[in-house]
Amino acid sequence: MYDLAIIGLGPAGLEACEIAIKNNLKVVAFEKKELGGTCLNEGCIPTKAIMHSANLIDELSDSQNLGIQLFSNPNCDWNKILQRKCDIVSKFTKVLEPSLKRKINLVKSEAEICLIDNEIQICADDNYYLAKNIIVATGSKPQELKELKIDHNFIISSDDIYKINTLPKNLTIVGSGAIGLEWAMIASALGVNVKLIEKASSIAPIFDIDIQKRIERILKSKNIEFFKDDYIVDIKNKQVTLKSNNSFETDLILMAVGRTPILPSVIVAGCQENFKLKVYDDYTTDFDNLYVIGDANKEIMLAHAASYQAKSVINKILFNKEIIKKPVPSVIYTNPSIASVGLREQDIVDKNEYLIKKVLVSSIAKSWCDNASDGMVKVIIKDNLIKGAHVVSKDADLLITIFNILIDNQITIDKIDDMIFPHPSFSELIPEVIKNGR
């Protein structure tokens, strides 16, 4: 009998594991793939490693304006970029497994949840495991559309793109969320002709309306052609036709329409049909000791949200603490990067109750020094408190972290006005938007 069983060791499972170990729980954990989940192996970290190379090419292309003379145009070596990505991922994956094996029972196998004589058990490699509490953190997989099935050759997923040997001349990306926008800018910087297709009426539809407008401007500045309120209706011999009757040839289609949760069923002994898990708002299920966290519950598919859910569930298990939902910041690592937390303008019912302030990134000197003056910052204020913040800027991830702290701790506008922000820095955009935003 274990105190805790964890199925899946991505960000959610690893966080749960770490906290359980610190609290001296006896843990068994199951992972059939590499530890670290999608984030470390096929998502956040690999993409950001490649994005760094793309951003460097962007910067070098403007070197003459920065007083630097290059003797040839910058070229990219896709295979070396991929190798650097692999080396970075390896630095983390190679230490995870040995470290965990010293502290828990780590089972490198697929696990099934079984209901035997009204008792939940976990089966892996023909062995059965019992635990007082079970956390399911099985993650997600790339989503596909019925009319655009991923064939891993011409129509690929975000997992497949790391496996291509050479960059295509023409790339079509379906979907303008984080995956679509990041790969659009990576590919464009590396010399690929990119077309971005979004079925919604706006690019990056989950973001604030001013962010959406700014993103469209950035895409245009990078010569990335995009189609809104549009979708593919026909593909013949790599010729793509859209609902709008636009037609073009492409070498590769990247499906970036989001991810879908991997939620295991419960195998009921003696029954032909499995029991589908239902996940509630507090990450509980119909079984008292079984929780679902991370991408598997589909609430917010972000690694840091998954880690927070892990903390919340372990605190509920150990100390019966109530699970508290908080605003979760989101970041897209484009160039410039995009970040958001809290209320969006389109969510507001009565705008008379709110104060909306905006400022351009170009209003601070540091943006000109860093050749990064494109972007804007927007805050939504009510009752002297920030209720939402939206950023397009270099270091948007750091700025949104500060905004998140201000929102989470309910720090008033007056107190922010008394804070000291270093000069010159992008953090000056925070007092700037509050004092001088319009």
Q: How many CB atoms lie within 10 A of CB 16?
A: 31
Cα–Cα distance measured from residue 52 to residue 88, given in angstroms and rounded to the nearest whole number: 12
Question: Which of the four pLDDT bands, split at 50, 70 and 90, describes residue 268?
Answer: confident
Average pLDDT over residues 307-316: 97
Cα–Cα distance measured from residue 179 to residue 332, given in angstroms and rounded to the nearest whole number: 8
Q: Is the pLDDT of residue 108 over 90?
A: yes
| Nearest Cα residue to 283 out of 274, 275, 292 | 292
Over residues 34-70, the pLDDT tens digits come to 999 999 999 999 999 999 999 999 888 888 888 988 8
Cα–Cα distance measured from residue 430 to residue 399, given in angstroms and rounded to the nearest whole number: 8
Average pLDDT over residues 408-417: 96
Question: Which of the four pLDDT bands, split at 50, 70 and 90, describes residue 147?
Answer: confident
Q: How many CB atoms lie within 10 A of CB 185?
A: 26
Q: Is the pLDDT of residue 72 over 90?
A: no
- Mean pLDDT, the chain, whole residue set: 94
What confidence score (pLDDT) does residue 40 get? Answer: 94
3-state secondary structure the chain: CEEEEEECCCHHHHHHHHHHHHCCCCEEEECCCCCCHHHHHCCHHHHHHHHHHHHHHHHHCCHHHHCCCCCCCCCCCHHHHHHHHHHHHHHHHHHHHHHHHCCCEEECCCCEEEEECCEEEEEECCEEECEEEEEECCCEEECCECCECCCCCCEECCCHHHHCCCCCCEEEEECCCHHHHHHHHHHHHCCCEEEEECCCCCCCCCCCHHHHHHHHHHHHHCCCEEECCCCEEEEECCEEEECCCCEEECCEEEECCCEEECCCCEEECCCCCCECCCCCCCCECCCCCEEECHHHHCCCCCHHHHHHHHHHHHHHHHHCCCCCCCCCCEEECCCCEEEEEECCHHHCCCHHHCEEEEEEHHHCHHHHHCCCCCCEEEEEEECCEEEEEEEEECCHHHHHHHHHHHHHCCCEHHHHHCCCCCCCCHHHHHHHHHHHCC
Instruction: Provide the residue type at 35 as one letter.
Output: L
Write down all domains in the chain, each with its CATH number in brackets. 2-141+260-319 (3.50.50.60), 155-257 (3.50.50.60), 336-436 (3.30.390.30)
CA distances from 321 to 5, 34, 89 (A): 20, 32, 35
Residue with tokens 């496996």: 163
Question: Which of the four pLDDT bands, split at 50, 70 and 90, describes residue 380?
Answer: very high
Average pLDDT over residues 206-233: 96
Question: Which of the four pLDDT bands, split at 50, 70 and 90, describes residue 423?
Answer: very high
Over residues 333-354, the pLDDT tens digits come to 999 999 999 999 999 999 899 9
> Is the CB of residue 100 less than 8 Å from the CB of residue 34?
no
Residue with tokens 């603490």: 321
What confidence score (pLDDT) does residue 95 get? Answer: 92
What confidence score (pLDDT) does residue 195 get? Answer: 98
Average pLDDT over residues 18-35: 96
pTM assigned to the model = 0.94
